[in-house]
Each structure stands twice: as structure tokens, then as C-alpha cells.
Amino acid sequence: MQSFTLERPSGLAEASRLAAQGAEFIAGGTDMLQLMKEWVRTPGQLVDLDTLLDPHVELGPQGLRIGAGARMEAVAVHPQVTRIAPAIREALLESASPQVRNLATMGGNLLQRTRCGYFRDVGVAECNKRRPGSGCAAIGGENRIHAVLGTSDQCIATHPSDFAVALVALEATLHLAGPNGERRIPVEDLYRTWDTHPEQETNLRPGEIITAIEVPATALARNSRYLKVRDRAAFEWALLSAAVALEVADGTVRAARVAMGGVGTRPWRMHAVEAALIGKSANSGTYAAASAQATDGAVPRGGNAYKITLMPKVLARAGFGRRRRMSLIGQPITRVDGPAKVTGAAHYAADFPADRMAHAAVVQSTIARGRITGFDLTEAERAPGVLKILTYQNAPRLGKIPEISPVDPAGTPDHPLQDDLVQHQNQHTGVVIAETLEQARWRRRASASLMRRRRR
Ligand SMILES: Cc1cc2nc3c(=O)[nH]c(=O)nc-3n(C[C@H](O)[C@H](O)[C@H](O)COP(=O)(O)OP(=O)(O)OC[C@H]3O[C@@H](n4cnc5c(N)ncnc54)[C@H](O)[C@@H]3O)c2cc1C
Ligand code: SF4
């Protein structure tokens, strides 16, 4: 990380002035510090906003007012947010992890940088966003997570914030304070599309600070939903997401607000989808026809083509048609197999006999570290019912796992039954296969005692 100085000004005006002169803001630091450690951002001077920003959430005449210093977790669990704008709660709870959410601020969330791997890797020379004019490695490269809307031949990166997608759908407003005073802009206008200058991501003026976010308290917002599709169920940014708010009366869609994330170079408001809904009967035909509008103008780049297929499906699941409960936590539910289990009527896998079935019992190491120096399995192999005893000497060879984790780049050596090494207590060192489970288990105990081991 490049050395830097940290300024702690006494007020927003001073912070703004320093940033207008070239310093950069830091709030929770969850994105900024990561980029600094990776040498993607190298500010010489940081201005700490943490103690200057308003951390509160309030409900006023204009709707919800969320201070830019409020933490993601605090906003997600705030009762007024749950009541007035459930899509915001859902977007935040589906973001990051509790640890990150307890530190990250709302202002910082809106200004986090793209997750494009080429942008975050200074070892890659071509990235117009990081090094203007250098090219775009994602076009023609690995672009599975990249955008299909609003792209250019300069950059196809998405904006990663979930919260921003919900705000765009709910027509939220940003409060800004800068060297030339205060102003307000729609959240949608915070982000630029980048035909020629992907390094210019927002319409903030030099030194401007996001001070608060205002969300109108409308019937639409109260009936809003957020759905996120990602590679794993937690701790992961969106591949696609949708925020949908609908107002339906007498079977007709009276109002609709729709935005998608993960598909555009910024949170993408779906005006054509909204227009295709309003005034129409609230039925599955209307929703299907409207969802199909989402892909108008979408341009695939190879790896991200699947997003075009998924977009209408994600919209349909996000809010059109039958509403699903987001979570079962706190809800009384009937356990469907409960009565069968307590009355003995339930069937388990072992209750279904199969023809010529064999049973296996695993032999485990009784020492924590050492080597297997030999086996004496003659008696065990002759025992009634025993079909085979597998050890590292006769078990099928397994392929190497090339990379388990960045912590262990060489891959784990702990493949079962592949060599004579004992690396932990209870390591699987043999498998007894027999005609019945009892025979396999009995011989397992005997085999364990017939295995010679040496501690290291
Ligand atoms: C492991 C991990 C998983 C994550 N998963 C998700 C996810 O699924 N969805 C999601 O949306 N996000 C996700 N995030 C991103 C996370 O939400 C952001 O890093 C966080 O919200 C940034 O807030 P911060 O206060 O830490 O900002 P900082 O890192 O302090 O700042 C980020 C940027 O905002 C600027 N800035 C901060 N506050 C202001 C302000 N008030 N006015 C003007 N400029 C400001 C800074 O100068 C900097 O450029 C994840 C992050 C991590 C580390
Ligand atoms: S998509 Fe944008 S951020 Fe990613 S490599 Fe291309 S220019 Fe850089």
C-alpha cells in the first residue's frame, strides 16, 4: 500500500475543501482499503468522513431520510425501513456479510467500485477505467459477470451496489454538500454511462459529499421487493438482481417501478417494462409480455449471454405474480414429516432393500500424525460376508484437486486412501465392504487393530 496521510477535519465544509484539492474520502473503508492494498487506488491524502456523517434513519414528511453515515446493517433492520421500503431491507440483507454490513456506510455503498477482475488487478495492463486509453481486457476476455446494457467498446463493467438498484426503483433522492453549497439529485442521476470515459463514473462535482438519501413513503415503496441471483447464497455480489414495486387495484396495474442490477453499467431503470405494465390487467400474460421488454438493446459479449435469457425470469420471480415470503425465520411452520417420524411410520433410506446391496464401514486412524507401515488383513478378508477391504494400497487413484483455496494454492494433500500419510485423528485409512452393515462394522473394528502405524 502506498503511504498516505489521514485527515480528520472538524466539519463537512473542511472535508469538502480538502477533497476538492485532490484528497479522497474514506468512510467505513471496506472498499477503499481493499483497493489501496491492491494498489488500484493510491491516494496520497485520505479524508475521514466517519464521524462527520449522519448515522440516523428517520421518517419525516418527505419519507425516509437515511443519513449517509448509517451502517448497512442498521438500515436493513430498522423498523421504518422494513415498513416503508421492504426492497431496501431485502437488498441490504442480501449484501456482503454481517461483519461488512456493520462497518460499511450507505454513502460508501453507492460509491463502491466495480467488481470487474481486470479493474481490481493491477497486473492487467488493459483497463480503461483504471488506466484511461489502455483498452478493455474484459471484452473478449472473462466477462461472465459483466454488463449487457449501456456498454461501449471502452468498458462493459457493472455497478455492484444492491442498495442502489432498490433506490433507483423507488425514485430516491441524494442530498449532496460541496464547496459550492448543497444540492439534491435523483439517485439514478448519480451514475454516468460511459461511451468514451469509463473512468468518469459519477456526476458528483469535485469535493461533493453524499450526506443523506431520501426515499418517498409511497404505496409503491411499501409494496416493493428485491431479488438477487448470485453464484452462492451469501457473501457474493449479484449476477442479476431486480427491484420491483407494484400498485395493483381492482385487478389492474396502476403504477410500477422496476430496476435491475448486474445487467447494466449502472443500476438500470426498466422504463419499457413499467410502460408495458401500467393500465393492464394484473395477470401472468401481462407480466410475461412486460418482462420480455427488459432485454431491449441488450448486447451479449460471450460469457455474459446467459444474462439475457435470465433477465425476464428474474423479473418474473422478483415481483410479478404470486408473492413469496422472503424468509421462514420467525414464522410458525408445520413440519410435514413430524407425525410420521414420531409414530414410526416414516421410511428412511435403509428401510428400502436393494438387490445384492453391499455395505461399507470406514476405518479411521487412531493417531493424529504418522505413517501406515503395513497391514495384516488376512483374517479380516477371510471373515464371513467381507467382500473387499480398501486401503491406500488398492484403492482407485483420485485426480489431484488443482487449487482448493488461495490459502493453500498447492491444493490439499488430504485425499482419502491415496498414500500412507496420517495427518489427523480419525483420518479415513480403510473401507471394509461386506454383505451386511453389521459384518462391515464388526470387521472395521478388527481391521483397525490389524493396521500397523508409526507416530511421527
Ligand atoms: C466481502 C465483501 C462483500 C461485499 N458484498 C456486497 C454485496 O453483495 N452487495 C453490495 O452492494 N456491496 C457489497 N460489498 C461492498 C460494500 O457494501 C461496500 O464496500 C461498502 O458499502 C462501502 O462502504 P464504506 O463506508 O466502507 O465505503 P469506503 O470504502 O470508505 O468508500 C467507498 C468509496 O466511497 C467514497 N465515499 C464514502 N462515503 C462517501 C460520502 N458520504 N460521500 C462521498 N464519497 C464517499 C470513498 O471515497 C470511496 O471512493 C461487499 C464488500 C465486501 C468487502
Ligand atoms: S470492463 Fe471496464 S473495468 Fe473491466 S477491464 Fe474493461 S474497462 Fe476495465
Residue at 94: amino acid letter: E
Is residue 343, in this structure, part of any structural domain at all?
A: no
Q: Are residues 241 and 381 in the same domain?
A: no
Query: Rounded to the nearest whole angstrom, what is the distance from the C-alpha of residue 128 to the centroid of ligand 2?
Result: 6
Q: Does the pLDDT of residue 407 top 50, yes or no? A: no
Query: Residue 103: its pLDDT value, please?
Result: 97
In this structure, what CATH number is given to the domain that contains residue 393?
3.90.1170.50
Q: Cβ neighbours of residue 236 under 8 Å, at least 6 residues apart?
A: 230
Residue 455 binned pLDDT confidence (cut-offs 50, 70, 90)? low
What is the pLDDT, as a whole number, of residue 317?
86
Torsion of CA 228, 234, 237, 238, to 10 degrees: -20
Q: Please work out whether the CB of residue 127 comes within 6 Å of at least one atom of ligand 2.
A: yes
Residues 84 and 229 in one domain: yes
CA distance 185 to 342: 61
Among all ligands shown, which has an atom nearest to the Cα of 110?
1
pLDDT band at 306 (very low <50, low <70, confident <90, very high): very high
Do 314 and 371 sit in the same domain of this protein?
Answer: no
Average pLDDT over residues 37-59: 96
* Closest CA relative to residue 118, chosen from 68, 64, 154, 67: 154
Provide the pLDDT for residue 452: 63
pLDDT (mean) for 202-218: 97
124 ligand 2 Cβ < 6 A: no
Of 260, 294, 318, which residue sits at a domain end? Answer: 318
User: Within the chain, how many helices (H) and strands (E) appear?
Assistant: 15, 18
Residue in the structure block whose three cell numbers are 435491475? 260
User: What residues form DSSP beta bridges with 425?
Assistant: none
| Domain match, 148 and 283 both | yes
**88 CB contacts (<8 Å, ≥6 apart)?**
75, 76, 81, 163, 166, 167, 170, 215, 224, 226
327 domain residue, yes or no: no
Please check whether residues 141 and 282 belong to one and the same domain.
Answer: yes
CA of 406 relative to ligand 1 center, distance in Å? 23
Domain assignment present for 372: yes
**Is residue 64 domain-shared with residue 194, that is, in the same domain?**
yes
Q: What is the mean pLDDT of the chain?
A: 89
Within a domain: 425 = yes
Condensed to tens digits (0 to 9), the pLDDT of residues 320-331 reads 645 444 445 555
pTM across the whole model: 0.75
Mean pLDDT on 266-292: 93
Q: How far is the CA of 364 from the centre of ligand 1 (A)?
A: 47
- Supply the DSSP symbol for 127: B
Residue-wise pLDDT tens digits, 10-28: 999 999 999 999 999 999 9
Computed on alpha carbons and rounded to an integer, the radius of gyration of the chain in Å comes to 29
pLDDT of residue 5: 97
pLDDT band at 82 (very low <50, low <70, confident <90, very high): very high
pLDDT digits (tens, 9 = 90+) for 333-380: 677 788 888 888 888 887 887 888 899 999 988 888 889 998 888 888
Number of domains in the chain: 2
Domain boundary among 259, 290, 318: 318
Q: Ligand 2 in contact with 138 (CB < 6 A)?
A: yes
Statement: residue 57 has pLDDT above 90: yes
192: containing domain: 59-318
Contact 303, 143 (CB under 8 A): yes
63: left (phi over 0), alpha (psi -120 to 50) or beta: left
The C-alpha cell at 266 is 449502472
Residue to mutate, 100, 202, 266, ligand 1, most ligand atoms under 8 Å from C-beta: 100
116 with 265, same domain: the answer is: yes
pLDDT for 332 equals: 61
For residue 412, pLDDT over 80 is answered with: no
Let me know whether 281 and 425 are in one domain.
no
The CA–CA distances, whole Å, from 446 to 392, 433, 443 equal 18, 13, 5
